[in-house]
Chain A
Amino acid sequence: MKYCYFLAALAVVHAQGQIPRLADGNPDLGADGVWLPLHVADLAPKADVPFQAWAKLKFQENSAMKRNETDLRCLPPGVPRITLMPRPFEIVQTSNRILFLYEGGGHVFRQVWMDGRAHPKDPNPDWLGHSIGHWEGEVLVVDSVGFNDMTWLDDAGHPHTERLHVSERYARTGPLTMKYDVVIDDPGAYSRPWMSSSSLSFRRGEKLAEDICLDRISK
């Protein structure tokens, strides 16, 4: 009898550890809730960032500024910064596209194409870039190019150019946890690619609120 209880308890623990899945077998990154990133102010607090000389100066200048001018104008925070701010977002999965809906940063969204297409040859310089994605086992890999050079990579002020290429890995490690790895590859600002990691927590049952940044400055 006591083995029955033990097995039942084990089954419960096992079920809780399972990550939800879609009909196609891929991890369900949405499922009735929102993701709250851990606030990462500095992508590389200790790491030796392979700055090019101008980028190091620019970083020091940005860090001294403290406030990002584009934030004050309610412009989108860019990538990966939008995933490092303590504001929730929701992931909506369809067969050919995954949408990221963000509460912060001006109520904007990103679309990640999952239909096997390539990046456009000459993408528009966008605030949030052009993103394509695929699954590597359990991990959603998002590859983005086509950025303008007006955003910062993080609150600390790591700069980038229009040659920025961001590779993000979203790994749902449990029902309530996600690991986030990001590789920054910008031959215009850094001498080699460098990476950083963060984590996100799932808020089951929560919904995004409407937050229109311009409401605070346009009156």
Chain B
Amino acid sequence: MAEPGKVKGPMKLAQNACRTKQLLSGATLVGLAWLSLASSYAQQPAAVPNPPLAKDPGPFLPARPPAEGRGPRPVAGPAPHFPDGRPDFGGDGAWFPGFNGNLAETTWKGVKSADTHVDVPFLPWTLKTYNERVENLAKDDPEAKCLPVGVPRFMFDPYAFQMIQTRNQVVFVFEGDNYLWRVVNLDPAGTHPKNLKPAWLGDAVGHYEGDTLVVDVTGFNGLAWLDQAGHATSDKLHLTERYTRTDSLTLKYEVTIDDPGAYSKPWTASNTVRWRPGLELMENICQENEKSSIHMIGNAEPEKK
């Protein structure tokens, strides 16, 4: 019996022929696949140049006169830490992001927005949605219907929040929306429960990397807007958030948005949030007297009465 792997004579010829045929058919398959892909791309609107990004609609409030009667700005000290070395994101006061309407622009509607400009890797549908939302003045903004702004938008929205740290959790409490809470479970392994129910705030697990709290969030419902401007999300959204208190008054925030259902590659937005010493959260129930959303008609003509 011939040794395994050694084939002689006509058998070898036949085998070589087979291999060649296999190679050929392989090449044919690849070629066909390429052709079909190329033709399908050719049918995609991507062949048409992308429409330009919708422009900043400009200031929506008149410029404020310089503030009078405000005390001197508090002086920043070193970032506080717990005795065990963990960074302390709390204290007597609250974080207040201010209005930062666009995650990807440094100014939006006439005021400072995100820390850096990002060329957002839109998929065609998210570019179209974004442009529509900018142009129709965000008339369908879920926040206007008192729904949660979700993550990461709360870090860009003008509502105070606090971070409360226990041994196994970081709890965020928000004055905005409907006086919501958000729990980040600390787990260095970063494991999410299976079969997450789609949610506005997602499922968050975190750990400390030196002075930075790193939070991994998934399990989103795809309904939240990333910002007031209208960057959309899908239910494939996966966020990596990094919170670093660089001094007693400053919280640096970086968020990587990895959403293959909405963007062609991950992108990172950032913001700097100031500490307001002595600020406490008031109860704020958005839908208690909500009368605004019916007036949000975008660019439509107001109804004559």
Does A94 lie within 8 Å of B164, measured CB to CB?
yes
Does A108 lie within 8 Å of B180, measured CB to CB?
yes
Does A108 lie within 8 Å of B171, measured CB to CB?
no
Q: Does A128 contact B (CB under 8 A)?
A: yes
Of the listed stretches B70-78, B114-122, B144-152, name the one at the interface; the rest are far from the partner chain.
B144-152
Interfacial chain A residues near B145, Cβ < 8 Å: 214, 218
Q: Does A204 contact B (CB under 8 A)?
A: no
Q: Which residue of B lies closest to A94 (CB)?
A: B164
With A and B bound together, what is the CA distance between A94 and B173 in angstroms? 14
Does B168 lie within 8 Å of A99, measured CB to CB?
no
With A and B bound together, what is the CA distance between A106 and B197 in angstroms? 17
A93-B166, A94-B166 known; A212+B285 contact, CB < 8 A = no
Does A108 lie within 8 Å of B179, measured CB to CB?
yes
Interfacial chain A residues near B180, Cβ < 8 Å: 107-109
**Which of the residues B168, B179, B288 comes within 8 Å of A109, measured between beta carbons?**
B179
Does B283 lie within 8 Å of A128, measured CB to CB?
yes
Interfacial chain B residues near A183, Cβ < 8 Å: none
Q: Does A201 contact B (CB under 8 A)?
A: no
Expressed in whole angstroms, the minimum distance between the Cβ of B162 and any Cβ of chain A is: 9
Of the listed stretches A10-18, A71-79, A134-142, A153-161, name the one at the interface; the rest are far from the partner chain.
A71-79
Which secondary structure dominates where chain A touches chain B?
Answer: loop
With A and B bound together, what is the CA distance between A107 and B173 in angstroms? 11
Q: Does A101 contact B (CB under 8 A)?
A: yes
Interfacial chain B residues near A99, Cβ < 8 Å: 164, 171, 173, 181
Does A101 lie within 8 Å of B179, measured CB to CB?
no
Expressed in whole angstroms, the minimum distance between the Cβ of B163 and any Cβ of chain A is: 11
With A and B bound together, what is the CA distance between A107 and B199 in angstroms? 12
Q: Does A53 contact B (CB under 8 A)?
A: no
With A and B bound together, what is the CA distance between A101 and B148 in angstroms? 16
Q: Does A209 contact B (CB under 8 A)?
A: yes
Which secondary structure dominates where chain B touches chain A?
Answer: loop
Q: Does A57 contact B (CB under 8 A)?
A: no
Q: Which residue of A lies closest to B90 (CB)?
A: A94
Q: Does A111 contact B (CB under 8 A)?
A: yes
Does B287 lie within 8 Å of A107, measured CB to CB?
no
Output the residue of A208, A210, A214 with the most chain B CB within 10 A.
A210
With A and B bound together, what is the CA distance between A208 and B203 in angstroms? 11
Q: Does A42 contact B (CB under 8 A)?
A: no
Q: Does A58 contact B (CB under 8 A)?
A: no
Interfacial chain A residues near B201, Cβ < 8 Å: 210
Does A101 lie within 8 Å of B183, measured CB to CB?
yes
Q: Which residue of B lies closest to A215 (CB)?
A: B147
Expressed in whole angstroms, the minimum distance between the Cβ of A114 and any Cβ of chain B is: 13
Q: Does B273 contact A (CB under 8 A)?
A: no
Does A124 lie within 8 Å of B281, measured CB to CB?
no
Does B164 lie within 8 Å of A92, measured CB to CB?
yes
Q: Does B169 contact A (CB under 8 A)?
A: yes
Interfacial chain B residues near A218, Cβ < 8 Å: 145-147
Q: Does A69 contact B (CB under 8 A)?
A: no
Does A210 lie within 8 Å of B200, measured CB to CB?
yes
A32-B168, A92-B166, A128-B283 known; A209+B173 contact, CB < 8 A = no
Q: Which of A166-219 contact B (CB under 8 A)?
A: 207-210, 212, 214-215, 218
* Beyond known contacts A111-B173, A127-B283, A207-B183: 10 more, CB 8 A cutoff: A73-B287, A74-B287, A93-B166, A101-B181, A106-B178, A107-B180, A109-B180, A212-B147, A215-B147, A218-B147
11 cross-chain CB contacts under 8 A: A90-B183, A92-B171, A99-B164, A101-B181, A101-B183, A106-B178, A107-B148, A107-B178, A108-B178, A108-B179, A126-B283
List chain B positions with a Cβ less than 8 A from chain A. 90, 145-148, 164, 166, 168-169, 171, 173, 178-181, 183, 185, 197, 199-201, 281-283, 285, 287-288
